A and B are shown apart, each in its own frame.
Chain A
Amino acid sequence: MIPAGLSLEQAPPFGVPLRFFLTAPWFLVLAALLILWQGPGIFASRWSPATLALTHLLTLGFMAQVMIGALLQMLPVVVGVVVPRPRLTAALIHIPLTLGTLALSAGLWVGLPPVFRLATWLLGLAFGVALTAIHIALWRAPVASGTVVTLRCALTGLLATVGLGLWLSGFFGWGWRLPVLAVANLHAGWGLLGWTVLLVAGVAYQVVPMFQITPPYPPRFVGAFALLVSGLLVAWSLLLAGGWETAARLAASGLAVATASFAGITLYLLAQRRRKIGDASLNYWRLSLISLLAAAGLWLWAQASPARAQAPQIELALGILMIAGFALGVINGMMYKIVPFLAWFHLQAQLFGRIKVPNMKQLLPDAAIRRQWWAYLAALLLLLAAVLYPSLFSVPAALALGVTGAWLGFNLTQVGLAYRRLSRAAEPAPDPSSAGV
Chain B
Amino acid sequence: MTAIAEMLAAEHRCCDERFAATEEAAQAGDANRCREGFQQFHAAMELHFSKEEDELFPAFEQRSGITMGPTRVMRLEHQQMRETLAEMQGTLAGGDLEEFLGQAETLLILMQQHNIKEEQMLYPMCDRVLGPAAGAVIDAMQAISTDRPA
From residue B113, how far is it (CB to closest CB) to chain A in Å?
Answer: 5
Annotate B95-121 by CB proximity to A: 1 below 8 A, 0 otherwise.
000010111011011101101110011
Question: Are the C-beta atoms of A206 and B121 separated by less than 8 Å?
Answer: no
Residues of chain B lying within 8 A (CB to CB) of residue A142: 121, 125
Residues of chain A lying within 8 A (CB to CB) of residue B105: 359-361
Question: Are the C-beta atoms of B121 and A80 separated by less than 8 Å?
Answer: yes
Partner of B80, one of A7, A79, A147, A277: A7
Closest-by-CB residue of B relative to A276 is B24
Given contacts A9-B73, A275-B23, A362-B102, contact A147 B109 (CB under 8 A): no
Q: Which of B17, B101, B109 has the largest count of A CB atoms less than 10 A from its CB?
A: B109
- Give the residues from 1 to 54 in chain B that come closer than 8 angstroms, CB to CB, to chain A: 16-17, 19-20, 23-24, 27
Bound-state Cα–Cα, A348 to B76, Å: 13
From residue A280, how far is it (CB to closest CB) to chain B in Å?
Answer: 10
Is B58's CB within 8 Å of the partner chain A? no
Bound-state Cα–Cα, A352 to B102, Å: 17
Classify the secondary structure of B's interface with A: helix
Is A371's CB within 8 Å of the partner chain B? no
Bound-state Cα–Cα, A206 to B76, Å: 22
Given contacts A276-B24, A277-B24, A361-B102, contact A211 B108 (CB under 8 A): yes
Is A180's CB within 8 Å of the partner chain B? no
Question: Are the C-beta atoms of B76 and A77 separated by less than 8 Å?
Answer: no
Bound-state Cα–Cα, A426 to B108, Å: 26
From residue A148, how far is it (CB to closest CB) to chain B in Å?
Answer: 8
Task: Select the stretch in A30-38, A64-72, A192-200, A337-345 that faces chain B.
Answer: A337-345
Residues of chain A lying within 8 A (CB to CB) of residue B70: 80
Q: List 19 A-B contacts (CB under 8 A).
A: A2-B79, A6-B79, A9-B72, A10-B73, A80-B117, A143-B120, A143-B124, A143-B125, A147-B120, A210-B112, A211-B108, A211-B109, A275-B23, A348-B83, A359-B103, A360-B105, A360-B106, A361-B101, A362-B102
New contact pairs (19) apart from A6-B76, A78-B120, A210-B112, CB-CB < 8 Å? A7-B77, A9-B76, A10-B73, A77-B113, A79-B121, A80-B121, A206-B120, A274-B20, A276-B27, A341-B109, A341-B110, A345-B110, A348-B80, A348-B84, A352-B83, A359-B99, A359-B102, A359-B105, A362-B99
**A interface residues, Cβ below 8 angstroms from B:** 2, 6-7, 9-10, 77-80, 142-143, 145, 147-148, 206-207, 210-211, 213, 274-278, 337, 341, 344-345, 348-349, 352, 359-362
**B interface residues, Cβ below 8 angstroms from A:** 16-17, 19-20, 23-24, 27, 70, 72-73, 76-77, 79-80, 83-84, 99, 101-103, 105-106, 108-110, 112-113, 115-117, 120-121, 124-125
